[in-house]
Amino acid sequence: MSMCSSHGPQGRARHSVRAASFVNQTRRARSDAPYLVHGLKDDSGNIMRTISLSCLAAFAALCATGAMGDRHMAAAATPPAPTRIGPALGSQLGSVVLRIDFEDSAERAKWSQTPRTRWVNEGHGGGTALRVEAPATEKSPTAMVSRALDLTAYRGMQLHFTCKAKAEKVTQPPEPYNGVKFMLHFKSPSLGPRWCNVSQVHGTFDWKELSFVAAISDDAEDGELDLGLQNSTGTVWFDDIAGVVARGAPPRRPAPMANAPPPFKGHELPRLRGVMSPNTFRDEDLRVLGVEWRANLIRWQITRNWGKPNTDLDLADYDRWIESELADLDQALAACGRYGIKAVVDLHSPPGGRYEDNSVRMFHEALYQEHFVQVWEKIARRYKGHAAVWGYDLVNEPVQGAPSPPGIADWLGAQVKAAKAIRAIDRETPIIIEADDWDSPAGFRYLMPVDVPRVIYQVHMYWPHSFTHQGVHGSRTGIAYPGVIDGRPCDREALRRYLQPVREFQLAYNAHIYCGEFSAIRWAPGAAQYLKDCIDLFERYDWDWSYHAYREWDGWSLEHGPDPKDHRPTATPTDRKGLLLDWFAKNKKP
């Protein structure tokens, strides 16, 4: 799973916010006490081991650290060459990659400094901490320091970073990815610059743990840790930084099966091609989609509070909402039957919602995970045998920023639990599994097949994010496709390389792939060409697909033009709509 973004340190956004950052739900004592990494799991959600970092102190002693460097502040000192942060022994699951104690003057010397940062005797539990201040008088308040890290020994792995932080009157920035910054930045020649960080951190709070997981690319270079404030005023303190190996190198895939039989697809049609649904049922929308546009697929999203943290905690209220959504879905499925459309039932908003970092709560709290399974049992009983239902899409865009506690299944294990509960009720309806890291292609590098019959694997495609989401949250616009994006050429061949982990998974396990979401914001220069290149690849690989989105937010609308200020559908079809209608014209109806 990749917890990093390749589109600048701004995080992700679609309807609202997609911050690729995480809050750890475990607790860590001071550095002189054992640090237990609980609940590290295999891909079926089984607990593999519990590791005491105090038993791995010998590793920590070998974890040579990098030198300083500050890309944010011109006043930073000239950095020496970074040194490797971990030995070959450090590649073991749970082993210590990095442990930073600010009591050590040699360690403090490895960090860049600015006039707004100081070493102070105000640390967590006493001792030395880094204090960063950004005065309210600054027009663009930013105060950041950095420390170089050599990630060579950890290429292809996932690293789990934690620190202690407290804050005083840190203002809420315009962007969710700014504010208090605890971040890993590195470069990838194949993917571009990568930022992995904690987001949505601001306000006043006492010492607490911040945490994120970083997927280190196979060609990672020029790594650095960053601490500070970005586009926020106030004061923040940092202490006790640590890193462990959260996941080793991706599994080796078996060679494609010789003379493989057709994979299970859950339908007999040449292809399912369609769209993501509106947020509310309207019969006319489905009539237009099925009759006029000739789409034969809709991914029906059961969603609320998208982008808002700490929602859906009241399970009685959640159940009332789910019941109203299923009543809406009943009408939608009846319309699908009338208009020749297959439907994916997409639980976009699971019980417990997400934390501030967008990690899914039920991967850490048993109450919500158990209710998640119960919700799917309810859905399976209700729609078992329904002719319009193509599949059950268990959880939209899993994100997990820390290992699950003991006894609680992780992002994949939770889906397996729900899938097996469904299979006890409904043996036939296809079940759709999503990968970690927002169901991105990078998440497929770690995905393994699940031991559940009649399964389809879903991927989402929004790369490069700086192109597809330009203008969202005030990000830079005018980024054209094809062209140089994030410092490297981006064209159909680049898209193919980015999708390669999914293709490798497909061939290795004879799996059927469904691209449940892909899009480009309607004002992105070259959006139609981007969509064309994506669809050409999906068709070449025999993937079913649904465009995001149909008559939902007009930023993604095929019926609106390139002017972001014009919220009226165009009188003449857009080039993006024309492209999709050409493909829909090839559809066979169920």
Say if 517 falls within a structural domain: yes
Question: Could you give the C-alpha distances from 40 to 266, 324, 370, 406, 491, in angstroms and in order?
Answer: 33, 37, 20, 8, 38
Residue 247: the pLDDT is 87
Listed in sequence order, the residues at least 6 apart from 401 whose beta carbon sits closer than 8 Å to its beta carbon are 3, 21, 22, 23, 24, 211, 212, 213, 355, 357, 359
159 and 124, same structural domain?
Answer: yes
**CATH number, domain with residue 531:** 3.20.20.80
114 and 151, same structural domain?
Answer: yes
524 and 385, same structural domain?
Answer: yes
**The token pair that represents 151 in the structure block:** 């990630």
311 and 197, same structural domain?
Answer: no
535 and 430, same structural domain?
Answer: yes
pTM assigned to the model: 0.81
Phi and psi at residue 366, to the nearest 5°: -60, -35
475 and 370, same structural domain?
Answer: yes
The torsion defined by the Cα of 203, 209, 213 and 219, in degrees rounded to 10, comes to: 90
| Of 206, 245, 228, nearest in space to 132 by CA | 228
Listed in sequence order, the residues at least 6 apart from 315 whose beta carbon sits closer than 8 Å to its beta carbon are 351, 367, 368, 371
Q: Are 545 and 515 in contact (CB under 8 A)?
A: yes
Listed in sequence order, the residues at least 6 apart from 85 whose beta carbon sits closer than 8 Å to its beta carbon are 63, 64, 65, 66, 97, 98, 149, 150, 151, 153, 154, 223, 243
Listed in sequence order, the residues at least 6 apart from 78 whose beta carbon sits closer than 8 Å to its beta carbon are none
Rounded (5°) CA angle 549-551-554: 80
Q: Please name the amino acid found at residue 383.
A: Y
304 and 232, same structural domain?
Answer: no
Alpha carbons 244 and 118: distance in angstroms, whole number: 27
Say if 32 falls within a structural domain: no
Bridge partners of 298?
A: 275, 343
Secondary structure string (H, E, C) spanning 474-529 = HCCCCCCCCEEECCEEECHHHHHHHHHHHHHHHHHHCCCEEEEEECCCCCCCCHHH
Say if 2 falls within a structural domain: no
Element spanning 376, H or E:
helix 366-383
**The token pair that represents 212 in the structure block:** 């994120």
Element spanning 242, H or E:
strand 234-247
Say if 516 falls within a structural domain: yes
Q: How crowded is residue 191: how many other Cβ atoms within 10 Å of its Cβ?
A: 22
Number of domains in the chain: 2
**CATH number, domain with residue 166:** 2.60.120.260
pLDDT tens digits, one per residue of 165-175: 999 999 999 88
Alpha carbons 347 and 325: distance in angstroms, whole number: 10
Alpha carbons 53 and 77: distance in angstroms, whole number: 33
Say if 63 falls within a structural domain: no
* The last residue of a domain, from among 211, 246, 281: 246
Alpha carbons 364 and 228: distance in angstroms, whole number: 28
Say if 18 falls within a structural domain: no
Residue 11: the pLDDT is 37
pLDDT, block means (10 residues), the chain with 590 residues: 44 37 28 27 32 31 30 32 40 82 93 94 94 89 94 93 97 91 94 88 96 92 96 96 92 93 97 97 98 98 92 97 98 98 98 93 98 98 98 97 92 98 98 97 96 98 97 94 95 97 98 98 98 98 98 98 97 97 98
Residue 3: the pLDDT is 43
Residue 138: the pLDDT is 82
pLDDT tens digits, one per residue of 235-251: 999 999 999 998 888 99
427 and 341, same structural domain?
Answer: yes
Q: Are 446 and 401 in contact (CB under 8 A)?
A: no
Q: Which domain holds residue 216?
A: 69-246
Say if 37 falls within a structural domain: no
494 and 435, same structural domain?
Answer: yes
**The token pair that represents 67 in the structure block:** 């030198």
471 and 385, same structural domain?
Answer: yes
Bridge partners of 84?
A: 150
Bridge partners of 515?
A: 459, 545
Alpha carbons 542 and 29: distance in angstroms, whole number: 51
Alpha carbons 74 and 116: distance in angstroms, whole number: 13
Q: Are 412 and 447 in contact (CB under 8 A)?
A: yes
Alpha carbons 102 and 117: distance in angstroms, whole number: 14
Say if 28 falls within a structural domain: no
**The token pair that represents 498 in the structure block:** 């980015």
533 and 462, same structural domain?
Answer: yes
Cis status, amide bond into 482, omega within 30 of 0: yes
Q: E-strand spans in 110-233? A: 117-120, 129-134, 142-149, 158-170, 179-188, 192-197, 203-215, 221-230
The torsion defined by the Cα of 496, 497, 500 and 502, in degrees rounded to 10, comes to: -60
Alpha carbons 76 and 147: distance in angstroms, whole number: 11
Residue 6: the pLDDT is 53
336 and 230, same structural domain?
Answer: no
| Of 518, 517, 524, nearest in space to 485 by CA | 524
| Of 127, 145, 136, 135, nearest in space to 207 by CA | 127
**The token pair that represents 62 in the structure block:** 């070998």
